[in-house]
Amino acid sequence: MSYTTDLGIYINGSWRRGEGRDVHEVVNPATGDVLAELPLATAADLDEALDAAERGFSHWRTVDVNARAATLHKVADLIRERAEAVAVLLTTEQGKPLAEARTEVASCAATFDYFAEEAKRSYGRVLVRPTGQRSLVLKQPVGPVAAFSPWNFPVNLMVKKMAAALSAGCSIIAKPPEETPASTSAIMQCVIDGGVPGNVAQLIYGVPDMVSRHLIGSAIIRKISFTGSVPVGKHLLKLAADGVKRTTMELGGHAPVLIFDDCNLDNAIKLASTTKFRNAGQVCISPTRFYVQEGIYDRFVAGFAQATKAIQVGNGLDATTVMGPLANDRRPPAIEKLVADATAKGARLLTGGERGDCGNFYLPTVLADVPMSADIMEDEPFGPVALMRPFKTFDEAIEQANRLPFGLAAYAFTENARQANLVADALETGMVGLNSFAISYVDAPFGGIKESGFGSEAGAEGLDAYYVTKAVHQY
């Protein structure tokens, strides 16, 4: 399927195209070619969407949960039917290898199916009092939602918010990223064709700051969900505070990986060197700061660097590609600056450290003996860079892992079960992977603590974020 140039915003049941709106140029990150022009929402568009979302919520909240579930299962079926076409769009505009795009699209269908069923189990509770009074604790949908999602997992992150909100009975205005609109719009078409009313789920693109101020400032919006960087998250929290609006914030991370002497070294090298470069490292839970115990430091670093050199970099549409370009032209200069700072301060560059010949490519990079003074030890590289440092003791490893304001994900590799328990208890993060980097599942809570945000997406907790509780005391 070729890239669609017929892009639009979907408001109150109809797609709106250019019609004099400002546009954003969508670029292929592998080639730098302009793919299409994307119309951006005006203030009048947003007002129309808000009115529609208010009416949509009044209706959708009254629809039986089983009927809502049936609709969401239809959406999931349509996503599965159209998966290959959506995956090609995703790779073309975002850069990730087609195999990764296929997995991401498949996860969208699984997410709609999961929340469709999970919402049926939102029971509330009854408290029986000796006086004959009953206290009922009810869960009700929070109201119209504004959802802002980023470009690293464009379809998956939009769907995590949309499927949960819709299954709970909320209406939603989604603003996915402007960089990757064809894939998110194709998913939206599945939502429309599956039967979700046009005023219940809407899709807009626009100037992010204008859109978020407008939507969050409206009394109609009752809940904000954002995935993105810490500074933008803090900004949106301040806007939300004015209306005391509920928020879910999934912000950045700088994940530490503690590699203990007693780990299965070959397994750790294999898993770490493949996971690090997935989606070119543009993953909020990407393993980044590798703290390796002294006894195996040299062997781990050498093995990781060797595996990294073998990674095939190229256009995500080529079957042999293991790592594609970075998704936008902001990332290569940002990473280049961090790597230059680290090497100037004494880090050893073992491989990579340079851009590719075209598009937004940046080669898989390994830095060893990275000094604590390097900016990259504090700033999330959000790209294909692995940082290595040795450690001596358990306490030192934990102190290093916990020293940043981030608290999203952390990992540890050890064959000692007691040590694994102690490390899981001590790490200050919302998620911990032990002897594994697989920590994202549709039925498990995904979210961070500290400045990485609060609230969870996925799992029962991810659904609960779209309810308010009401206590009714009846005599």
Residues contributing to the site for ligand NAD (CB under 6 A): 148, 150-152, 177, 208-209, 212, 227-229, 231-232, 235-236, 250-252, 284, 330, 380, 382
Candidates 358, 458, 376, 375; CA nearest to 153 is: 458
Whole-angstrom Cα distance, residue 293 to residue 346?
20
Distance CA 446, CA 226 (A): 13
Within 10 angstroms of residue 302's Cβ, the number of other Cβ atoms is: 13
> By C-alpha distance, which of 69, 245, 251, 14 is closest to 144?
245
Q: How far is the CB of 204 from ligand NAD (least distance, A)?
A: 12
As beta bridge partners, residue 203 has 10, 174
Beta bridge partners of residue 349, listed in sequence order = 367
- Distance CA(196)–CA(202), nearest Å, equals 10
Task: Tell me the HSE value of 250 on the side-chain side, using a 13 A CA sphere.
Answer: 25
- How near is the Cβ of 266 to ligand NAD at its closest, in Å? 30
In the 8-state DSSP scheme, what is residue 457?
B
Structure tokens at 110: 């699984």
Q: Is 250 a catalytic residue?
A: yes
Choose, from 100, 104, 178, 250, the residue flagged as catalytic: 250
| 190 labelled catalytic | no
User: Shortest gap between Cβ of 71 and ligand NAD (angstroms)?
Assistant: 28
Q: What angle do CA 106, 110, 111 make, to 5 degrees?
A: 115
Of the candidates 141, 142, 140, 138, which has an alpha carbon nearest to the alpha carbon of residue 245? 142
Q: Contact, 187 vs 179, CB < 8 A? A: no
Residue (252 or 256) nearer to ligand NAD, CB: 252
Name the 3-class secondary structure at 303.
helix
Q: State how far the Cα of 161 lies from the Cα of 335, in Å rounded to an integer.
A: 29
Instruction: Tell me how far, at minimum, the Cβ of 456 lies from ligand NAD, in Å.
Output: 13
CB of 5 to ligand NAD, least distance (A): 22
Comparison of 107 and 227: residue with beta carbon closer to ligand NAD: 227
Identify which of residues 115 and 226 has a Cβ nearer to ligand NAD in the complex. Answer: 226
Nearer to ligand NAD, 89 or 251 (CB): 251
Phi, psi of 451 (to 5 degrees): -80, 0
**Would you say 346 and 369 are in contact if contact means Cβ atoms under 8 Å apart?**
yes
The nearest distance, CB 284 to ligand NAD, in angstroms, is 3
- Residue 451: what residue type? E
Nearer to ligand NAD, 114 or 406 (CB): 406
Write down the least CB distance from residue 205 to ligand NAD, Å.
10
Catalytic residue among 179, 284, 380, 457: 284
E strands in 114-234: 125-128, 134-141, 145-148, 172-175, 201-203, 223-227
If the CB atoms of residues 56 and 332 are measured against ligand NAD, the closer one turns out to be: 332
308 or 328: CB nearest ligand NAD = 328
- Alpha-helical runs (H) found in 14-82: 43-60, 65-81
User: Which residues are catalytically annotated?
Assistant: 250, 284
